[in-house]
């Protein structure tokens, strides 16, 4: 099993290109099932989760062609079965995204209940309630969701019990081919929702309100193919900015969008970083200083994203002063805390609140990743730690960060991927 070996204490400096967003690309790939002609997606990141979604489409008979420029062309007309099996779905929660498009376009879907990171229950019941509101007959048996509809889905008004990005995306996709008007209330407002609505609109859907808490969809009879670009990964962007902050360095992220990161950039400025932006770049310069302690709480967009909580905690670990972090989205998203403490951080957790007492220096230690964003927080902390840190279970990081060690090496980090065999030699 691969691990990352990091020799910390080096101040990062340089430029890094940001990949397309995994959390945007996955629902976009699912949405290609709605097109009656091929859909081409550009700026698709090369990640394990993307490969899994493509395998799910391929397993259903869908034609998927990938070129050397990370463009993916999907032709759903070759679909032979509307079944997404457990063997593929178990590794990734985003597999549930195929449910809405399959149901809307083909009238049936059988999708295994998904797996993924163990950071909270994240139930799919909101997805199922939403699709049932459009007239779908849904049964859950033997670990599978079986969904069918007689004729087209019917437009309806649906209010989510809680803000859910995945639920909003699934209902939005299904509603595009429903008969009549669908009004989605308490909808998620994340940039990935806007990106998905943009693709669907380019395919011929009639959508208004994406990016607000009320989205209206006027159903159409058919959607056509198009070429569409995946937005930049705001979480990857924030992660590399955090790596600059924790090492007192300077990093300029390219091919990204400052608009996607307002709440995060505000907190970086609060810790004392010099943050400058352009149309498609963000630069963070700590000018060799330690960060200052700040308080924050995670919240649905446009609040501070839960997917940046762990990385910012790593910054707080070496800050001057004491930081208070409140996690409001997932009930089990502090699993990185014991590992950060192994590196010498002083973090205490009480329920949803973490108190981080900043230390002047972290110390290297073997650590183990527990989920995708936690794994990046450990890498970021290791970059600041004195000595050689070995990060285990990095298959988590490969699910969401493209060529992470290469990008960090380009910024001056002493990091390399090792196998268990190399480690024992």
Given 117, 313, 372, 415, the catalytic residue: 117
Burial class (CB in 10 A: 0-12, 13-18, 19+), 204: middle
70 is catalytic: no
Rounded to a whole number of angstroms, the CA Rg of the chain reads: 22
Name 6's bridge partners.
389, 415
Name 91's bridge partners.
none
Q: Write out the catalytic residue numbers.
A: 117
């Amino acid at each position: 099993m691969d691990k990352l070996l990091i020799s910390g204490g080096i101040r990062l400096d340089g430029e890094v290109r940001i990949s397309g967003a995994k959390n945007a690309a996955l629902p976009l790939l699912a949405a290609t099932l709605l097109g009656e002609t091929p859909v081409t997606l550009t700026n698709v990141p090369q990640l394990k989760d993307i490969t899994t979604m493509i395998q799910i489409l391929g397993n259903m008979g869908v034609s998927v062609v990938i070129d050397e420029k990370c463009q993916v062309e999907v032709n759903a007309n070759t679909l032979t079965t509307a079944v997404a099996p457990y063997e593929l779905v178990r590794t990734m929660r985003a597999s549930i995204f195929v449910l809405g498009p399959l149901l809307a376009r083909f009238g049936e879907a059988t999708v295994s209940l998904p797996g993924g990171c163990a950071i909270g229950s994240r139930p799919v019941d909101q997805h199922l309630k939403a699709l049932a509101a459009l007239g779908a007959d849904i049964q859950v048996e033997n670990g599978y969701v079986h969904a069918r509809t007689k004729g087209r889905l019917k437009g309806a008004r649906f209010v989510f019990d809680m803000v859910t990005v995945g639920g909003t995306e699934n209902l939005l996709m299904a509603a595009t081919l429903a008969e009549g008007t669908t009004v989605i209330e308490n909808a998620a407002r994340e940039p990935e929702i806007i990106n998905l609505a943009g693709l669907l609109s380019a395919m011929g859907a009639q959508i208004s309100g994406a990016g607000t808490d009320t989205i209206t969809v006027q159903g159409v009879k058919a959607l056509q193919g198009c070429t569409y670009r995946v937005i930049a990964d705001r979480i990857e962007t924030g992660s590399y900015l955090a790596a600059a902050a924790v090492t007192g360095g300077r990093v300029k992220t390219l091919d990204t969008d400052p608009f996607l990161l307002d709440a995060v950039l505000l907190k970086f400025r609060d810790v004392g970083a010099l943050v400058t932006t352009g149309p498609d770049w963000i630069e963070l310069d700590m000018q060799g200083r330690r960060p200052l302690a700040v308080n924050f709480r995670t919240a649905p967009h446009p609040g501070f994203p839960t997917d940046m909580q762990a990385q910012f905690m790593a910054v707080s670990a070496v800050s001057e002063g004491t930081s208070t972090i409140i996690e409001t989205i997932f009930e089990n998203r502090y699993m990185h805390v014991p590992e950060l403490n192994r590196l010498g951080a002083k973090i205490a957790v009480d329920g949803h609140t973490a108190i981080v007492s900043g230390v002047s220096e972290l110390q290297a230690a073997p650590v183990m990743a527990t989920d995708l964003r936690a794994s990046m927080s450990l890498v970021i902390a290791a970059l600041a730690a004195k000595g050689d840190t070995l990060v285990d279970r990095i298959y988590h990081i490969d699910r969401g960060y493209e060529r992470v060690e290469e990008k960090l090496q380009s910024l001056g980090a002493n990091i390399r991927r090792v196998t268990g065999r190399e480690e024992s030699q």
